């Protein structure tokens, strides 16, 4: 593999075109012709901005010019040729990955003339084929939001989130989200060209953010080019930077119960919940303050930028328990113009999260919540060299020092759990994790003006990424007492797990954007090689039953498989009208799935192990004792991660197929885009995706059970009778991890209509309406697992279940969504803006209590309705802002901001107890936070 990687690097260097990592920059292209349409060579082009030193270029023989490697922002372009009228374009907007393409007609000058216009760059990008949303600072700063990336994600067409953030009520925990039928594990997080995605929690961010550091956020939900590894949501953040002029922002926002005597938060708790003592999901107090500043150290040579921000979020959970978070962020960036064509950049970002009461809710009383600690600093070193206006090369190294700890408030107390109510008590598990990342890139773009009659923008690439993780998971007491309707039932003995592992990825790709007349083709191919490893380590015995759960040591291993994938990416745009205002677009792509660094953990004998025995609590003290167990030591009721008949085995009973390969996503998109008015466009697009080649943990040869309907249960809610299936053998100790063999696939069919209005003529707007249906299908005759719920799930709507960050019982899936954000600039420095979010309610799959089947199989819990049949109420929420801006002349401006979140004080349910036999059945587990006001002050200079 090392030899292959060396060959790839050498080949790419010979080609003089190296990798192009996640985009940080945009570009300005242009063609200059005379009044007869003939190209004008030799025109002097000057590019000016506060962000970069002045650049100049000269048009080619075909009248072309280009400026690459441009940070997001606004630029001034001056075009001069003796004998012709000088042309100036001011406020030219450049976005991440965007192309501004001018066609300028020069006229003969009779006197010394100059024409200056405020640039009206096309809102339709003729080179873009993907489904991409660019959120510039004017949107981030002016649309009311909870001021975190996950709140911004919720504004993007086609994305659904697992929590509703009302004025910052959820800013202490990152949201889960889903888009285009995906499940989140293929999502990618990138900051300033650095891939920072948490490989131990694939698809998640390893840190939290200062909202005011972003120059622009780019979010891709489809049609990704080969520079993006996977088919999930790709989030690309570009932070601000210093320039030749000093600039900065200072801000303070306050949200809470009262501002002096003025009530800032309404009450929306339903009467039935109030009668049970619930208070609703409420903000106690939020303070959000900080600053960012940048400027020159040496004009045209050395610049700095720095930022510091704090979000102090104090919340009450629905039960009235406190859930408090302190987010502290520090950022710094230094840019050094080493040579006229060489720039060095150092970037540092440190996100520190401290949280008290994580997980608070009806099922997690205070003693079972977590206190969280752990900063996650990011370091980046990059050097960019412009060999010519046609070739840019960047070398980059980045390190992410991720990790955190979760400590239960109950400490060493023995945790308890009730099967009937699903409520925990006394304490909970303890978790500690360290997650560093190393990444190396070599980046470049190569432009060829005329090859075989077309223009070419080539992107080649190589990348290396290593992501180790060390994690431990256990309750301090090493045993959990489980009840059923308040009566002692069984005891869960835990041997604390150690997961010490890592993965490596080598990647290379090539992409070519070919422009020929009205047609633009994007052709690309990506290659990824990934492998997972487990390190040497050991675990201690369970002190309560050391013979049944002894200490073991393990020498480590590498996975018996490696993922090696070629991913073709193709796309096109065609200019129907010839003026760049009416386009048809299309893509056909294949994406290979992300390999989590945990992929080999099925072979880890040191993973958290559990053995359960029935328990009577003979002395009534609520504490598990060995002499109170039934079936001890030879007849456990359930086990996992250990072989009860061979507990000293230091090799996993599981096996993994040597042919295990990556999941695949196949995608086809067709779209139409039209500029309706200057700065105003409409997009209509249809998206189809098929997800295949999933992995599962199958039974091993000779251990396949036969399932029979041997019992039934009557659901008290519906009155229906449901079969209970049992197996003819005890649960096998080991499993075989392989690609699914039951023809399992998932289909997404969706359509969007999107209206985009850039800020001009005093207003801006982004509006979208999305419809979709995602289904999941498999061949039941080829599926060896418990068929109890096949009738309710197979062939039905697919909706991923939220898997963490305080939300584990939310099923994220709506068949329609409507979103609109906008701002209007009133006279006298007043601005009004808002965000309306509406969607179909999420799914609530009810289930009823089955039976404990013993023999290691555990409980059978039948679904009582077809998945997707029952849903929460339709969700909608309106947020508004009014802002007064006072100009301070050359010094900048001062803004007073008033935000209102959940204007109509909606209190729709966001989750209910789904177990029909529970005493809490249909009780709201969470409701939308009440209307709340936020006051803000912002100074810009």
> What 3 state SS string does 180-196 have?
CCCCCCCCEEEECCEEC
pTM for the full model? Answer: 0.90
Asked whether residue 11 carries a pLDDT value surpassing 60, the answer given is no
- pLDDT tens for each residue of 835-889: 999 999 999 999 998 888 888 898 899 999 999 999 999 999 999 999 999 999 8
Asked whether residue 394 carries a pLDDT value surpassing 80, the answer given is yes
Q: Verify cis geometry, omega within 30 degrees of 0, for the bond prior to 92.
A: no
DSSP secondary-structure letter at 119? -
CA dihedral 44, 45, 46, 48 (to 10 degrees): 170
- pLDDT for position 101: 87
CA dist 606 and 496 (Å) reads 8
- pLDDT for position 523: 96
User: Predicted confidence band at 107 (pLDDT cuts at 50, 70, 90)?
Assistant: confident
Nearest to 801 by CA among 365, 169, 184: 184
CA dist 43 and 581 (Å) reads 26
What structural domains and CATH numbers belong to the chain? 20-121 (2.60.40.10), 142-940 (2.40.170.20)
CA dist 676 and 768 (Å) reads 16
Sheet strands (E) in 106-202: 114-118, 131-136, 159-161, 177-179, 188-191, 194-195
CA dist 166 and 932 (Å) reads 8
- pLDDT for position 20: 42
Q: Give, in order, the Cα–Cα distances in Å from 579 to each of 518, 576, 680.
A: 9, 8, 15
Sheet strands (E) in 537-662: 537-539, 552-554, 557-558, 563-575, 582-592, 609-615, 629-630, 638-640, 655-656
- pLDDT for position 153: 94
- pLDDT for position 112: 56
Number of C-beta neighbours around residue 117 at 10 A: 10
Number of C-beta neighbours around residue 216 at 10 A: 26
- pLDDT for position 118: 56
- pLDDT tens for each residue of 70-79: 888 889 999 9
Nearest to 457 by CA among 375, 370, 516: 516
- pLDDT for position 73: 87
Asked if 326 contacts 312 with a C-beta cutoff of 8 angstroms, the reply is yes
- pLDDT tens for each residue of 134-188: 999 999 999 999 999 999 999 999 999 999 999 999 998 899 999 999 988 999 9
CA dist 573 and 568 (Å) reads 17
Nearest to 517 by CA among 557, 572, 462, 471: 572
- pLDDT for position 6: 40
- pLDDT tens for each residue of 799-824: 999 866 667 789 999 999 999 999 99
Q: Give, in order, the Cα–Cα distances in Å from 438 to each of 209, 379, 504.
A: 20, 10, 10
* Phi, psi torsion values for 129, nearest 5 degrees: -115, -15
Asked whether residue 102 carries a pLDDT value surpassing 90, the answer given is no
DSSP secondary-structure letter at 781? G
User: Which ranges in 192-326 belong to alpha helices (H)?
Assistant: 271-275
CA dist 853 and 851 (Å) reads 6
* Both tokens assigned to 362: 């009806």
Q: Give, in order, the Cα–Cα distances in Å from 22 to each of 19, 72, 238, 442, 513.
A: 10, 14, 10, 12, 16
Nearest 5°: the CA angle 672, 673, 675 is 150
Number of C-beta neighbours around residue 466 at 10 A: 15
The percent of residues in the chain predicted with pLDDT above 90, rounded, is 77
Asked if 384 contacts 193 with a C-beta cutoff of 8 angstroms, the reply is no
Nearest to 370 by CA among 804, 850, 666, 799: 804
- pLDDT tens for each residue of 628-658: 999 999 999 999 999 999 999 999 999 999 9
User: Predicted confidence band at 17 (pLDDT cuts at 50, 70, 90)?
Assistant: very low
User: Predicted confidence band at 240 (pLDDT cuts at 50, 70, 90)?
Assistant: very high
Asked if 174 contacts 192 with a C-beta cutoff of 8 angstroms, the reply is no
Nearest to 77 by CA among 34, 115, 24, 126: 115
Asked whether residue 14 carries a pLDDT value surpassing 70, the answer given is no
Asked if 737 contacts 595 with a C-beta cutoff of 8 angstroms, the reply is no
User: Predicted confidence band at 120 (pLDDT cuts at 50, 70, 90)?
Assistant: low
Chain centre distance of CA 927: 24
CA dist 654 and 784 (Å) reads 17
- pLDDT for position 1: 44
Mean per-residue pLDDT, 915-926: 92
Q: Tell me which H or E stretch contains 271.
A: helix 271-275
Nearest to 811 by CA among 781, 842, 770, 782: 842
- pLDDT for position 3: 39
Exposed e or buried b for every residue in 726-745, given b needs 16+ CB within 10 A? bbeeebbbebbbbbbebebb
Nearest to 419 by CA among 802, 793, 851: 851
CA dist 310 and 328 (Å) reads 5
Number of C-beta neighbours around residue 937 at 10 A: 14
- pLDDT tens for each residue of 297-332: 999 999 999 999 999 999 999 899 999 999 999 999
Asked whether residue 691 carries a pLDDT value surpassing 90, the answer given is yes
CA dist 107 and 89 (Å) reads 16
- pLDDT for position 224: 94
Mean per-residue pLDDT, 28-43: 89
| The 3-state secondary structure of 385-419, one letter per residue | EEEECCEEEEEEEEEEEEEEEEEECCCCCCCEEEC
Mean per-residue pLDDT, 211-224: 95
Nearest to 374 by CA among 162, 552, 207, 144: 207
CA dist 885 and 578 (Å) reads 42
Q: Tell me which H or E stretch contains 792.
A: helix 790-793
Nearest 5°: the CA angle 776, 781, 786 is 75
Asked whether residue 115 carries a pLDDT value surpassing 70, the answer given is no
User: Predicted confidence band at 51 (pLDDT cuts at 50, 70, 90)?
Assistant: confident
CA dist 180 and 685 (Å) reads 13
- pLDDT for position 111: 57
Number of C-beta neighbours around residue 54 at 10 A: 12
- Please list the helix, strand and coil fractions of the chain in percent, rounded to the nearest 5, in that order: 5, 55, 40
- pLDDT tens for each residue of 341-358: 899 999 999 999 999 999
* Both tokens assigned to 816: 């329609």
DSSP secondary-structure letter at 597? T
- pLDDT for position 13: 35
- pLDDT for position 2: 44
Average pLDDT, the chain: 92
**Which stretch of 388-392, 566-570, 916-920 has the lowest confidence by average pLDDT?**
388-392
């Amino acid at each position: 593999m090392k030899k292959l990687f060396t060959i790839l690097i050498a080949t790419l260097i010979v080609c003089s075109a190296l990798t192009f990592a996640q985009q940080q920059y945009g570009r300005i292209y242009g063609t200059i012709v005379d009044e007869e349409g003939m190209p004008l060579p030799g025109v002097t082009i000057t590019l000016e901005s506060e962000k970069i030193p002045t650049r100049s270029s000269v048009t080619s023989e075909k009248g072309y010019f280009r400026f690459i490697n441009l940070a997001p922002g606004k630029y001034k372009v001056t075009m001069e040729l003796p004998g012709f009228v000088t042309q100036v374009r001011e406020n030219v907007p450049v976005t991440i990955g965007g192309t501004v393409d001018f066609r300028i007609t020069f006229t003969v000058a009779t006197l010394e003339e100059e024409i200056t216009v405020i640039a009206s760059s096309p809102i339709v990008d003729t080179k873009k084929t993907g489904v991409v949303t660019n959120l510039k600072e004017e949107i981030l700063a002016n649309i009311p939001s909870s001021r975190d990336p996950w709140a911004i994600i919720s504004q993007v067409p086609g994305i659904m989130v697992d929590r509703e953030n009302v004025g910052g009520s959820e800013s202490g925990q990152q949201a889960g989200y889903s888009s285009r039928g995906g499940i989140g594990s293929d999502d990618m997080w990138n900051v300033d060209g650095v891939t920072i995605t948490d490989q131990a929690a694939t698809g998640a961010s390893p840190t939290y953010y200062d909202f005011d550091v972003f120059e622009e956020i780019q979010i891709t939900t489809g049609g990704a080019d080969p520079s993006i590894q996977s088919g999930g949501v790709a989030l690309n953040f570009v932070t601000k930077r210093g320039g030749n002029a000093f600039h900065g922002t200072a801000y303070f926002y306050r949200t809470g119960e009262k501002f002096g005597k003025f009530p800032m938060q309404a009450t929306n708790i339903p009467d039935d919940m109030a009668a049970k003592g619930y208070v609703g999901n409420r903000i106690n107090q939020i303070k959000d303050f900080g600053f960012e500043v940048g400027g020159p150290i040496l004009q045209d040579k050395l610049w700095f930028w720095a930022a510091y921000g704090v979000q102090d979020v104090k919340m009450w959970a629905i039960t009235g328990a406190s859930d408090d978070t302190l987010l502290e962020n520090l950022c710094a960036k230094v840019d050094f113009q080493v040579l006229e064509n060489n720039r060095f950049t150092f970037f540092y970002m440190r996100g520190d999260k401290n949280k008290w009461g994580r997980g608070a809710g009806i099922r997690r009383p205070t003693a079972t919540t977590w206190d969280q600690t752990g900063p996650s600093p990011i370091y980046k070193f990059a050097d960019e060299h412009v060999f010519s206006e046609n070739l840019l090369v960047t070398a980059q190294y980045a390190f992410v020092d991720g990790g955190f700890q979760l400590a239960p408030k109950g400490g060493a107390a023995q945790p308890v759990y009730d099967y009937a109510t699903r409520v925990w008590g006394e304490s909970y598990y303890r978790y500690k994790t360290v997650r560093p990342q190393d990444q190396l890139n070599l980046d470049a773009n190569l432009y060829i003006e005329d090859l075989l009659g077309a223009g070419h923008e080539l992107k080649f690439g190589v990348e290396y990424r290593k992501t180790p993780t060390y994690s431990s998971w256990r309750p301090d007491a090493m045993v959990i007492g489980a009840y059923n309707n308040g009566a002692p039932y069984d005891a869960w003995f835990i041997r604390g797990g150690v997961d010490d592992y890592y993965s490596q990825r080598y990647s290379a790709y090539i992409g070519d954007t070919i422009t020929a007349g009205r047609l633009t083709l994007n052709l690309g191919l990506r290659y990824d090689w990934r492998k997972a490893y487990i390190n040497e380590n050991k675990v201690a015995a369970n002190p309560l039953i050391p013979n049944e759960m002894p200490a073991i040591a393990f020498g480590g291993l590498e996975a018996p498989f490696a993922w090696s994938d070629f991913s073709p990416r193709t796309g096109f745009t065609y200019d129907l009208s010839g003026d760049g205002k009416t386009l048809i677009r299309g893509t056909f792509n294949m994406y290979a799935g992300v390999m989590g660094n945990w992929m080999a953990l099925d072979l880890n004998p040191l993973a958290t192990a559990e053995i359960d025995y029935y328990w009577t609590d003979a002395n009534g003290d609520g504490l598990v004792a060995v002499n109170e167990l039934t079936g001890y030591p030879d007849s456990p009721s359930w086990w996992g991660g250990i072989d009860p008949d061979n507990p000293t085995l230091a090799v996993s009973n599981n096996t993994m197929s040597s042919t295990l390969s990556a999941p695949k996503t196949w995608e086809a998109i067709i779209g139409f885009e039209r500029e309706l008015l200057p700065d105003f466009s409409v997009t209509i697009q249809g998206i189809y995706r098929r997800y295949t080649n999933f992995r599962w943990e199958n039974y091993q040869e000779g251990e396949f059970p036969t399932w029979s309907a041997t019992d039934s249960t009557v659901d008290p809610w519906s009155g229906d009778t449901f079969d209970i299936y049992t197996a003819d053998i005890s649960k096998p100790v080991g499993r075989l991890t392989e690609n699914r063999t039951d023809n399992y696939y998932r289909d997404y069919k969706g359509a969007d209509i999107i209206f985009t209005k850039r800020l001009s003529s005093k207003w801006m707007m982004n509006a979208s309406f999305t419809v979709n249906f995602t289904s999941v299908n498999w061949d039941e005759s080829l599926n060896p697992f418990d068929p109890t719920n096949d009738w309710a799930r197979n062939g039905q709507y697919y909706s991923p279940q939220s898997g963490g960050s305080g939300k584990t019982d939310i099923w994220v899936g709506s068949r329609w969504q409507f979103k609109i954000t906008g701002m209007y600039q009133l006279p006298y420095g007043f601005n009004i803006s808002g965000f309306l979010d509406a969607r179909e309610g999420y799914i609530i799959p009810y289930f009823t209590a089955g039976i404990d089947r013993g023999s290691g199989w555990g409980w059978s819990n039948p679904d009582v309705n077809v998945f997707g049949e029952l849903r929460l109420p339709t969700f909608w929420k309106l947020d508004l802002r009014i802002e007064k801006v006072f100009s301070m002349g050359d010094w900048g401006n001062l803004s007073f901001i008033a935000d209102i979140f959940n204007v109509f004080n909606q209190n729709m349910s966001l989750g209910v107890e789904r177990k029909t036999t529970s005493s809490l059945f249909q009780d709201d587990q969470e409701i939308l936070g009440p209307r709340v006001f936020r006051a803000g002050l912002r100074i810009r200079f």
